Structure 1
Amino acid sequence: MRHKGLLAVLPMLLAFLVPTATTATAAAPVQVYGVWHCGDDYCTWSTVRDVAEFDAKNHWLVDRGDGRPSVNLVVLSFVDPRKLLHRTTDAGTANGVPVGMSREIVQYFTSHGIRVMLSVGGITYTDAWDAALAEDPAQLGRNAAAVAADLGVGIEIDYEQNTAPNLTGLQSFIDAYRSGHAYDAGGTDPAARLTVDTAAGDRWLIDLNRKATADWLRTDRPVLDYANAMVPARPTSASSHIANWQEHLDGKSQFSPPVAPLAPAKLTAGLYVAYGRSPLPECTDYANSLQKATGDWARGAAPNGAGTTAGLLGYMFWAAEKPSARGLGTQEPDGCAGGVGGGATAFGVQTPMGPLRQS
């Protein structure tokens, strides 16, 4: 009788000791795993690139060593907003777009299943954003939408005005863009992908971040697809990066007016792969990289007032090829296949990118 009693209660004891599959929490997939790309001339893209020469310096992006791409997104950086508004053609620009951001370079990536976007702005073009938004933001939005349709790319808003940004003008830009490319939850139309860059945390670009979180990045009525938490001033520790990203999820209720919390499914996390003159583990050594050190947190980050699903969308890396005249860059023969490419393998990154989580 005692043996039968023990057998009867044994399953209940095991239930307390061993978590079942239904109670375990699965890590969210890394859906966006991309790199900002500065070309070979410090983010101007002002010369036409030969595709064979481009491949020699960037092959790691399309082949992590086993024939699979290291990323599923490349953001070509940067387009001058003022030249885009005026559809300028000059020595380095064709109809408002840097000549290096050619159809051939776009197709180099898309032929490998990698999504492409153009980043409009950057810190160098802050004044140009201000001027274009003051002049005709709706026309700027229409021009951006036309370029996106022509090249089959998305558009990233990188407006780094920390003091009194023209948010009314930026709203007009977004409205005009969306009149040509409606929000596409399924992600099938590359030109419908419209994103915004915010600071690493909530304490810089505050006005832009507040507006984006309140009006453009809501899960119940989304306008932009997601925000990128940009890299901080310099590489730092895993805990510091996580603290910055957590600020976006928490919001800033103590600010006046407050910054609302952001859904994890509306945020990517930025890390350096090129900084200074020494290779970073984020580029060359996934086992010792920040993407590995922060990966569990990023894939399990819980909503805290916005959204219903855990986990950020993924990672963005700054920046491929030659982002700075003073830095090492990400030159071949190996590029960042050992770091970024290693992460793509470890995280099981899907290429081509599938539909993104919406809540």
Structure 2
Amino acid sequence: MPSAANAAAGSLPQVYGAWHCGDDACTWATVRDMANFDQNNHWLIDRGDGRPSVNLVVLSFVNPLTLLNGTTNSGNTGGVPVGMNQAVVNYFTSHGIRVMLSIGGISYTNDWDTALAQNPTLLGQRAAALATQLGVGIEIDYEQSTTPNTTGLQSFINSYRAAHPYDASGADSTARLTLDVAAGDRWLIALDQYATTNWLTPANPVLDYANAMVPSKQPSASSAESNWQEHISGKPTYSPPIPPLAPAKFTGGLYIAGSSQVLPECDNFASSLQNATGTWTQNAAPAGAGTTTGLLGYMFWAAERPSTRGVTTDPPNSCEGGVGAGATAFNVPLPMPALRQS
């Protein structure tokens, strides 16, 4: 068993999930044939011994402006990609895997801006109704790096929380509301500062947690740890400063697909970054926020076909040997338990 799986006194990952882009580079614009879907994604529900490789799948992406407008066209019904349907959600939940939908992504940044300017309260209501309809949680992926509309996003969150209040127990899937931030504190600075100050404090949590997204390319183990440490330490010299983030309030992101070759993070746990960083992520100490050691877990970008170029996680490149083996090594809980709160 790799040493990272036995990190002394650390906190084992509670969140161990994959963003999922479907077979069309994250648009989910067609209804899937579920036999084909299972062929391409079976590794997610079976690491080789009948147990899932992950305890969370985040279907990516819903266009926020399309959702606000309730658009129906060739790829959407009532503002929701037609591929993000109950059959796909049930495919995962029937195996004890939590499902969320991600609203946004880098391609929809301008649409986030427009939607938040037009009617953020209605957008929050429609996101909440979508969560109720499918029995899922919602992830906010708003990658505005210069002037994010935090006032509008606050209204969106208030509206969502009016329908689905914060639930520390984790029992209500629709109450799970998360936010994506950059790999470290040096991008999405204004959003990071506002979220860490207002939404991610252990004493008064508004969002469940944040995901530190992948950087522009797969990092080294030391670079990944350095990025994640920035969130834990904060940036006191920034104006306004970014306060420290509790380790229990975020996950770290790694690539599993989209590069020119199959990555060990997908198919070789012993050589993977989740293995190399495992001891650090389980033992990362609070540096001004929180009381428990260890990040909340890992998120992997991304299942099936995250881009039109590069390898996918379709067979024979499926990820039982990397992500799945990591689930075994880290003793990832299935289903996801109540998360650490501080």
Q: TM-score range by the shorter chain?
A: over 0.9
- Counterparts of 1:143-162 in structure 2, within 5 Å, are 143-162=126-145
* Letter paired with 1:28: S
Question: Which structure 1 residue ranges, 4+ long, deviate > 4 Å from structure 2?
Answer: none
In the TM superposition, what is the alpha-carbon distance from 1:29 to its structure 2 partner? 1.7
- Residue 334 (structure 1) shift: 5.3
Q: Does residue 75 of the first structure (1) align with residue 58 of the second (2)?
A: yes
Query: Aligned partners of 1:204, 1:197: CA distance in 2, in Å?
Result: 12
2:299 pairs with 1:316: yes
The structural deviation recorded for 1:329 is 1.1
TM-score by length of 2: 0.97
**Separation (CA, whole Å) in 2 of partners of 1:261 and 1:166:** 22
The residue identity in structure 2 corresponding to 1:309 is T
Q: Deviations over 1:147-179 (max 9, x none)?
A: 001100000000000011100000000000000
Alignment of 1:162-241 (within 5 A): 162-241=145-224
Structure 1 position 275 matched with structure 2 position 258:
yes
Counterpart in 2 of 1:35? 18
Amino acid at match of 2:20: H
Larger radius of gyration: 1
TM-score, normalised to structure 1, is 0.93
User: Would the aligned equivalents of 1:60 and 1:334 in 2 still touch at CA under 8 Å?
Assistant: no
SS at match of 1:133: helix
1:96 counterpart (72, 79, 85): 79
- Structure 1 residue 50, shift from structure 2 partner: 1.2
Amino acid at match of 2:98: R
Aligned twin of 1:60: 43
Unmatched 5+ stretches in structure 1: 1-23
Please say if residues 57 and 333 of structure 1, whose CA atoms lie closer than 8 Å, have aligned partners that are also in contact: no
Q: Would you say the 8 A contact 1:59–1:332 is kept in 2? A: no
Query: Which amino acid in the other structure matches residue 44 of structure 1?
Result: T
Match of 2:32 among 41, 49, 52: 49
- Higher mean Cα deviation, 329-338 or 257-266? 329-338
Amino acid at match of 2:10: A
What SS is found at the alignment partner of 2:325?
A: helix
Partner secondary structure for residue 155 of structure 1: strand
Q: Which whole-Å deviations, capped at 9, do the CAs of 1:107-126 have from their partners, x for residues lacking one?
A: 00000000000000000000
**1:73-121 deviation line (CA, Å, top 9, x unaligned):** 0000000000110111111001111000010000000000000000000
Q: 2:311 corresponds to which residue?
A: 328
SS at match of 1:310: coil
Contact 2:258 2:305 in 1 (8 A): no
1:276-317 Cα offsets, whole Å, 9 max, x none, are 221000000000000000000000000000000000000000
Runs of 5+ in structure 2 lacking a partner?
1-6
Q: 1:307 aligns with which of 275, 290, 293?
A: 290
Among all aligned residue pairs of Structure 1 and Structure 2, give the percentage whose two residues are the same amino acid: 66
Query: Secondary structure in 1 aligned to 2:307?
Result: coil
AA partner of residue 31 (structure 1): Q
Cα displacement (A) at 1:25: 5.2
Instruction: State how far apart, in whole Å, the 2-side matches of 1:55 and 1:34 are.
Output: 18
